[in-house]
Homo-oligomer: A and B are copies of this chain.
Amino acid sequence: MITVEEAAKIVLEQATGYGVEIVPFEQSLGRVLAEDIKADRDLPPYNRVTMDGIAISFEAIENGISTFRIKATQAAGDEPVDIEDHAECVEIMTGAMLPVSTDTVVRYEDLELRAGLATLVTNGIRKGQNIHYKGKDKKQDDLVAQTGAIVTPAIISLIASVGESELRVKKLPRVVILSSGNELVDVDQSPGPFQIRRSNNYTVRAVLKQHGLDAQLLHLPDDEEIIKKQLAICLENYDVIILSGGVSMGKFDHIPRALEALKVKQLFHNVKQRPGKPFWFGKHENGQLVFAFPGNPVATFMCLHRYFLPWLHKSVGAKEKPQLHAVLSNRVSFHFPLKYFLQVKLHYNEYCQLMATPVEGNGSGDFANLADTDAFMELPLEKNEFKRGEVFSVWPF
């Protein structure tokens, strides 16, 4: 049986790229950039007026002029209007290009306008005020967003500004989530007295959806022939198979045999952790991966966050995120030779410290409990007693 760290290392070693695709920029939210985005011209592209008012030459003020003839009005998007005389001004709107014959903008609030004349009502005019200068944010060809960045709304804005209406993003792996077993019926069906409804597969799909990945679902009946056929089809059409349950020592677990027959090689089975000890991980000779999580829904949820998501993150080439840690707020004992993934609720204390409070559940199979928690706290294998105030890794969800 291997440790959590060894298992995570083996899983991350299997991270691999799935290529690049071109998407309309609006569909790139949450995706990972596969190209550097550069400014196609300076940002802003011209000396941009930032207040409605008048554009003047500051020399006029130095020469004691305080009333200006309005030569013309220039809206945003209009060709700039130049003045020929310091006693002239241009009435100008936010977003307009500053005329080259002017260097200062006085906003309406500091003016009195009457009969084609604008008169200053303040002394506090500074040369160059109310102008956002050409190239102040970015110069042409400057990098505005980098390969490996996850596209956020702020990056969407930059992409739009520089005219990248389509862009290259990392392709996501094709994932299928398999459920199995005749005891499982679908959500809209009435389970018999010895049956329950499928739910694990939907939970996994929902987590993947939160990470931008649309996975397919497939249910396998307890029939060795059908399982083998379906798994063969899955290996052809998907990069990753996620199983919840179905890989154990049970007499009716046809899946391990079928995977072996289909040349999926076991990379490990059983990890020193609770929940999720029977986690099985394998790889087909053509590279397809099989994450076979234990049937216990909390174990599946935990393994998904601890192994699959970091693998996905690395596979799409996203920048590494720092590991989150929190302060344990209550004492915890755990006397098994396994690493314990404690369900916790996260909150901040008055010093802005991230605190983790254990949430008491009915053991590792209690999924009802999970809805009241925010994260797993990873308690080291080497210890059995975990004191209040100690700091450990957390995996939020």
By a beta-carbon cutoff of 8 Å, the part of chain A in contact with chain B is: 25-26, 29, 43-46, 48, 50, 52, 73, 75-80, 91, 93-97, 108-109, 132, 136-138, 144-145, 149, 152-165, 181-184, 187-200, 202-207, 209-210, 222, 245, 248-253, 295-297, 301, 322, 324-327, 347-348, 350-355, 362-363, 365-371, 373, 391, 397
Beyond the given A144-B368, A153-B203, A163-B187, please list 6 additional residue pairs across the A-B interface where CB-CB is below 8 A: A75-B183, A75-B222, A80-B194, A152-B371, A153-B397, A163-B188
Q: A157-B203, A193-B97, A209-B29 are in contact. Are A144 and B249 (CB under 8 A)?
A: no
Contact of A181 among B43, B76, B322 (CB under 8 A): B76
For the residues of A in contact with B, the DSSP-based class is: loop
Q: With the chains together, A247 CA to B43 CA distance in Å?
A: 23
Q: Which residue of B lies closest to A41 (CB)?
A: B191
Asked whether A158 lies within 8 Å of B194 as measured between CB atoms, the reply is no
A131 CB → nearest B CB, Å: 11
A353 CB → nearest B CB, Å: 5
Asked whether A183 lies within 8 Å of B354 as measured between CB atoms, the reply is no
A305 CB → nearest B CB, Å: 10
Q: A181-B77, A248-B52, A354-B348 are in contact. Are A371 and B46 (CB under 8 A)?
A: no
Asked whether B188 lies within 8 Å of A165 as measured between CB atoms, the reply is yes
Asked whether B210 lies within 8 Å of A94 as measured between CB atoms, the reply is no
Asked whether B365 lies within 8 Å of A50 as measured between CB atoms, the reply is yes
Q: With the chains together, A81 CA to B149 CA distance in Å?
A: 57
Instruction: Provide 11 A-B residue pairs closer than 8 Å at the C-beta atoms, listed in order of the A residue.
Output: A43-B368, A46-B194, A50-B296, A52-B248, A75-B222, A94-B295, A95-B183, A95-B245, A152-B371, A155-B371, A161-B367
